[in-house]
Amino acid sequence: MTVFQYTARDKETGRQITGTLDAEDRINAIKQLERMRLLPISVRCTTVTVSVKRSHLLYYVVSVVLIFAVTLFCWFTMGKRPSSSNADEKPEGPVARSVPVSRASKVASETSPVEKVPEQISSSVASQVVQDDQTYIPPSRSSTEAHNERKLKGEVFVVTGGQSNIKLALVNILAIPTVSLASHLEAQREEVNIQLARVKFELEPIDWAIESAKDDGAKFQEKAQNSIRQIRQGRLISENEMVSMKKESDRIKLIIEEKTVQRAPLAAKIVYLKSTAALLEGMPTPLEVARTDSDGRFSMTLPRDVALTLVAHASRDVFSNTENYFWIVPLENDQTEMVLSNNNMSP
């Protein structure tokens, strides 16, 4: 099991919460947070705890006891040393040749988990000791990770109305777990809908005031036309009436100008909330990030056992306007190439 430290947001209260939880991997940790009605912001591995099965533990204990028993047997067997008189006597017959210690004995003496095995131990026992000890050596993590990784290459470009290909450089490509991104988008849509309703509520009285001022302006325009026709017919208009008409005209213009200024930021906020940029605000932490080169190409190394989605944002100045491009594209498990262009662009 692995201990993960997380930072999440409560979907009901909106409060930010920090804590720890036990899970097999990052994906299971995120799923636990979702079951707790928490929106993961960041999930980071802090401690790895090893869980040993009961059968493996029993096998390990039996192996250690066996090694200890063999060591004691060899110690007692070799404990009887020859006497000094016998040691000084030269052996009769051909000179005994020294037998080199077998490689298995050396390996056993270097790798025994209890203590060094004497050099006189038999090769068969030493081989068994080495085999038992190697049973508990876990596979290399680097080789495991290399087996579970894949290389993704791609490019980013847009096609203009004149059928010109524009390569987009310095675009950040984010690889985000699909589960985390889906949870984020769902929660963000709810938040966006709440903000939209709030902004529209603030916008209603402003729009009503503008429409009311336009209606007054239409009535004033009709009144002014009547006054002009009367002047042409020879009727004189008093100075007070002219001053009153001028004040009415200025009042209508002032209301429309003030309310239009108040309406502009609210209207811009509505446009933003309806765009993809609002949904991508506060995205989960990506597993991998890449940046396109001058030709719009990128590459990144991704795990095979995690469902991922590529997220990217690019912008381009066209005369006095700025065009924004967004991509939210899921990846296949064994996909190694990706093209981000007009056909898979988000609205």
pLDDT tens by residue, 76-134: 776 544 444 444 444 444 444 444 444 444 433 444 333 333 343 333 333 333 333 44
What is the overall mean pLDDT for the chain? 77
Nearest-CA neighbor of 28 among 288, 311, 305?
305
The answer to whether position 93 is within a domain reads: no
Q: Is the pLDDT of residue 8 over 60?
A: yes
Instruction: Write the CA distances from 330 to 82, 91, 197, 307, integer angstroms.
Output: 78, 82, 30, 8
For residues 331 and 257, what is the distance between their CA atoms, to the nearest angstrom? 50
pLDDT of residue 319: 85
AA identity, residue 152: L
pLDDT of residue 146: 56
The answer to whether position 88 is within a domain reads: no
pLDDT of residue 58: 72
pLDDT of residue 311: 95
For residues 171 and 101, what is the distance between their CA atoms, to the nearest angstrom? 63
Show the domain range for 156: 149-181+280-344
pLDDT of residue 142: 52
User: Does residue 285 sit in the same domain as residue 229?
Assistant: no
The answer to whether position 228 is within a domain reads: yes
The string of DSSP letters for 129-196 reads: HHHHHHTTPPPPHHHHHHHTEEEEEEEEEEE-TTS-EEE--S-EEEEEEHHHHHHHHHHHHHHHHHHH
Which of 56-65, 133-142, 297-306, 310-319 is predicted least confidently? 133-142
Which of 134-138, 197-201, 205-209, 228-232 is predicted least confidently? 134-138
Please, are residues 27 and 306 in contact by the beta-carbon 8 Å criterion?
Answer: yes
Instruction: Write the CA distances from 175 to 33, 314, 343, integer angstroms.
Output: 20, 16, 19
User: How many Cβ atoms sit within 10 Å of the Cβ of residue 190?
Assistant: 11
pLDDT of residue 79: 57
pLDDT of residue 29: 81
pLDDT of residue 55: 55
User: Does residue 201 sit in the same domain as residue 272?
Assistant: yes
User: Does residue 188 sit in the same domain as residue 303?
Assistant: no
User: Which percentage of the chain shows pLDDT scores above 70?
Assistant: 77
Q: Which stretches of the chain are DSSP H helices?
A: 26-35, 54-77, 84-88, 103-111, 123-134, 141-147, 178-232, 239-273, 276-279
Q: In what order do the strands lie in the sheet with 38-48?
A: 16-23, 2-10, 38-48
Q: Mean per-residue pLDDT for 192-217?
A: 91
The answer to whether position 140 is within a domain reads: no
Nearest-CA neighbor of 327 among 308, 345, 302?
345
Q: Is the pLDDT of residue 145 over 60?
A: no
User: Does residue 126 sit in the same domain as residue 191?
Assistant: no
Q: Mean per-residue pLDDT for 54-70?
A: 75
Please, are residues 326 and 278 in contact by the beta-carbon 8 Å criterion?
Answer: no
Please, are residues 138 and 156 in contact by the beta-carbon 8 Å criterion?
Answer: no
The reported pTM is 0.50
User: Does residue 64 sit in the same domain as residue 121?
Assistant: yes
User: Does residue 63 sit in the same domain as residue 186?
Assistant: no
User: Does residue 20 sit in the same domain as residue 44?
Assistant: yes
Give the residue, 215 or 74, on which the prediction is more confident. Answer: 215
User: Does residue 284 sit in the same domain as residue 177?
Assistant: yes
User: Does residue 177 sit in the same domain as residue 191?
Assistant: no
| Cβ within 8 Å of residue 342, ≥6 positions away | 158, 159
User: Does residue 186 sit in the same domain as residue 272?
Assistant: yes
Q: Is the pLDDT of residue 155 over 60?
A: yes
For residues 303 and 129, what is the distance between their CA atoms, to the nearest angstrom? 37
The answer to whether position 265 is within a domain reads: yes
Q: How far apart are the first and last CA of the chain?
A: 41
User: Does residue 210 sit in the same domain as residue 195?
Assistant: yes
pLDDT of residue 18: 87
User: Does residue 214 sit in the same domain as residue 331?
Assistant: no
Q: Mean per-residue pLDDT for 212-217?
A: 88
Please, are residues 32 and 21 in contact by the beta-carbon 8 Å criterion?
Answer: yes
Q: Mean per-residue pLDDT for 22-30?
A: 81
Please, are residues 65 and 33 in contact by the beta-carbon 8 Å criterion?
Answer: no
